[in-house]
Amino acid sequence: MPTAALVSLATAVPPYEYLQKDVLAAAWEVFGPRFPEFETLSSIFSNTGIVKRYGVKPFNWYLERQGWPERTEAFLEGAEALFVDVAQKALANAQLGGGDIDTVVTVCSTGIATPSLDARVARVMGFRSDVTRVPVFGLGCAGGVSGLSIASRLAQARPGANVLLVAIELCSLALRLDELTKANIVAVSLFGDGAAAIILRAGDGGATRIESSGEHLWPDTLGIMGWNVDPEGFGVIFRRTIPNFVTAHLNPAVVQILARMQLSMADIGRFICHPGGARVVTALETALALHQGTLDHERQVLADYGNMSAPTVLFVLERVRAKGLPARSLLTALGPGFTASCVTLRHAA
């Protein structure tokens, strides 16, 4: 059976840019008077490595109290616009139109839409009435890699079909004024909005092919990362030990995943990782036995966009691809579950 090949890749961010220094100043005004620990926690903002981020709403919108209706309205409006933007870029890069797409895989964990986003934008995108829609929710930061795995298998099952993957997250809509917790302060310091789109096709060659994929779910780790849901909206669950967990547990998990692919760490020319945060990137380099500083594109994406959850690793892939992929690379991301998701790419120069 022919493997799926990467036909095109595009990324996009919403229109509003926030400098990290301005976010910190606003956080001081909002949290400083009410949260005695904020003075200590404020150092997180300068330690993230983030210079700027993007969001779907003007800066002052986030300084007003918002509930489920307001957040959902902002999600639907912002996500639909961003979906169309990034998907049209991917189609243009592939010299295709919306009517050429046979399957749409939409990965998103930062808002709820029923009908799903792909249905809401179908008319604008020009999708056919028989297009297959696969909305995927709940994968969090691992969604970009797991979504690529799902999309590649769907493409492989129907050689010649065009499969569109859209990973889109509006993390900024989960930032909360009411939660005086370290987890929320970390979220305020870290998250931004963005989207990535990939078109895959099997059966007609392609320089970059999706070779294999695998996941590792650690038992009894539900409390490491995820959402709380209440009348205000999503509230972030973040355990402060994530970098330590990565250092201690990621390597054997990746080794096992690669072994199931009949590969070893030595077969990987470049690790392409989701940069969850500056400390996580350092932990990834330690866990994967890389020299400190190796994950340079990861750090630059984090600086330029913050943590956008699922699409972030695809922003990194875009930069690595522009510089030149090695013969084999491994995409990896960590997400709620707690889960490691991996995809190997084979590239012919």
Question: What are the tens digits of pLDDT across the range 136-189?
Answer: 999 999 999 999 999 999 999 999 999 999 999 999 999 988 888 888 898 999
Query: Residue range 2-21: average pLDDT?
Result: 96
Strand ranges (DSSP E) for the chain?
Answer: 4-12, 16-19, 52-55, 103-107, 132-136, 163-170, 193-202, 208-217, 225-230, 233-238, 270-273, 328-335, 339-347
Q: Residue 306 pLDDT more than 90?
A: yes
Lowest mean pLDDT among 203-212, 227-236, 332-341: 227-236
Q: Round to whole Å and give the CA distance between 43 and 200.
A: 42
Q: Are 188 and 30 in contact (CB under 8 A)?
A: no
Residue 249 confidence class, pLDDT cut points 50, 70, 90: very high
Q: Active site includes 141?
A: yes
Q: Residue 28 pLDDT more than 90?
A: yes
Q: How far apart are the first and last CA of the chain?
A: 22
Query: Residue range 220-232: average pLDDT?
Result: 87
pLDDT at 307: 96
Q: Which neighbouring-strand residues pair with 53?
A: 18
Q: Which neighbouring-strand residues pair with 11?
A: 196
Which tens digits make up the pLDDT trace of 259-295? 999 999 999 999 999 999 999 999 999 999 999 999 9
Distances (CA, A) of 124 to 82, 91, 259: 12, 13, 44
Catalytic residue among 108, 141, 273, 342: 141
Query: Residue range 294-317: average pLDDT?
Result: 97
Q: Which residue has the tokens 């760490």?
A: 265
pLDDT at 183: 87
- pTM score of the predicted model: 0.95
Q: Residue 230 pLDDT more than 90?
A: no
pLDDT at 178: 87
pLDDT at 315: 98
Q: Within a 10 A sphere around the Cβ of 19, how many other Cβ atoms?
A: 13
Query: Residue range 37-56: average pLDDT?
Result: 92
Q: Residue 7 pLDDT more than 90?
A: yes
Q: Residue 1 pLDDT more than 90?
A: no
Residue 238 confidence class, pLDDT cut points 50, 70, 90: confident
Q: Round to whole Å and give the CA distance between 256 and 279.
A: 24
Query: Residue range 318-347: average pLDDT?
Result: 96
CA angle 18, 19, 23 (to 5 degrees): 80
Q: Do the bridges between strand 163-170 and strand 132-136 make them parallel or antiparallel, or are there none, so unpaired? A: unpaired
Task: Say which residue, 11 or 40, is predicted with more confidence.
Answer: 11
As a whole number, the mean pLDDT across the chain is: 94
Query: Residue range 107-117: average pLDDT?
Result: 95
